[in-house]
A and B are shown apart, each in its own frame.
Chain A
Amino acid sequence: DAKTTQPPSMDCAEGRAANLPCNHSTISGNEYVYWYRQIHSQGPQYIIHGLKNNETNEMASLIITEDRKSSTLILPHATLRDTAVYYCIVRVVDDYKLSFGAGTTVTVRA
């Protein structure tokens, strides 16, 4: 049973910010939100994770709503190399396995 809901696809213009939504309305208090992405023909790549505070690293920003029922991954300046499938995953931090859904296919266009 899917714990997250993401749009199947979205387009973004190169150089613009890409905002990827994720709904996780049944998230529990001890579950984190993780984002991974998978570029074509490669294995998934970790992007960022958070519990309730907004997080930022060199790749992206993660904005989690106050009620934690949804979040947004922000790629601040999308490039063609950001074209990939992006997966939003909720998991307890010491849960060893990742449960991937279908993700959002993001296409960055020049």
Chain B
Amino acid sequence: DTGVSQNPRHKITKRGQNVTFRCDPISEHNRLYWYRQTLGQGPEFLTYFQNEAQLEKSRLLSDRFSAERPKGSFSTLEIQRTEQGDSAMYLCASSLGQTELYEQYFGPGTRLTVT
């Protein structure tokens, strides 16, 4: 257990429905990241927050995706009008940005299946 929690762990939804995932980072970490991982591939960067500010979004993050981090604490990732191609593991990570190490601590992920 890294201290980063994600909920739910699994989500099955029908195509066209909206889904929301939550990530609770390690409490003192000011940086929070979202990644997506499809079967057999390494994780791909989606977006990044420093405190409450969303500083970058990957081109993988289409208009159907939105992420928030109110008050610089937990974060949510919402996918609107889900498509079968959205099926993947969604990983959240956090880090303490002031250290040289910049080690990222990952949560266990939320596995999304779109039917």
Contacts and interface: CB of A to CB of B under 8 A. Distances in A.
Interface string A26-49: 000000000000000111111001
Given A43-B108, A46-B104, A103-B42, A96 B4 contact: no
A10 interface: no
A43 B106 CA distance: 5
Nearest to A87: B42
A102 B41 contact: yes
Chain B interface extent, by class: 20 to 34
Interface string B30-58: 01010100001111110010100001100
A99 B93 contact: no
A69 B34 CA distance: 30
A24 to B, nearest CB: 15
Contacts of A45: 2, 106
Contacts of B45: 97-99
A44 B35 CA distance: 11
A96 B56 contact: yes
B84 to A, nearest CB: 22
B101 A96 contact: no
Contacts of B35: 98
A17 interface: no
Contact of A102 (B2, B42, B93, B108): B42
B25 to A, nearest CB: 12
Nearest to B55: A96
B105 to A, nearest CB: 7
Interface of B: 2, 4, 31, 33, 35, 40-45, 48, 50, 55-56, 91, 93, 97, 100-109
Given A85-B42, A100-B43, A102-B42, 16 more contacts: A43-B4, A43-B91, A43-B93, A43-B107, A43-B108, A43-B109, A44-B43, A44-B104, A45-B2, A94-B102, A96-B31, A96-B102, A97-B48, A100-B42, A100-B44, A102-B40
Interface of A: 41-46, 49, 85, 87, 93-94, 96-103
Please give me the 8 A-B residue pairs with the lowest Cβ-Cβ distance, nearest first: A100-B42, A43-B106, A97-B45, A46-B103, A44-B106, A100-B43, A96-B48, A43-B91
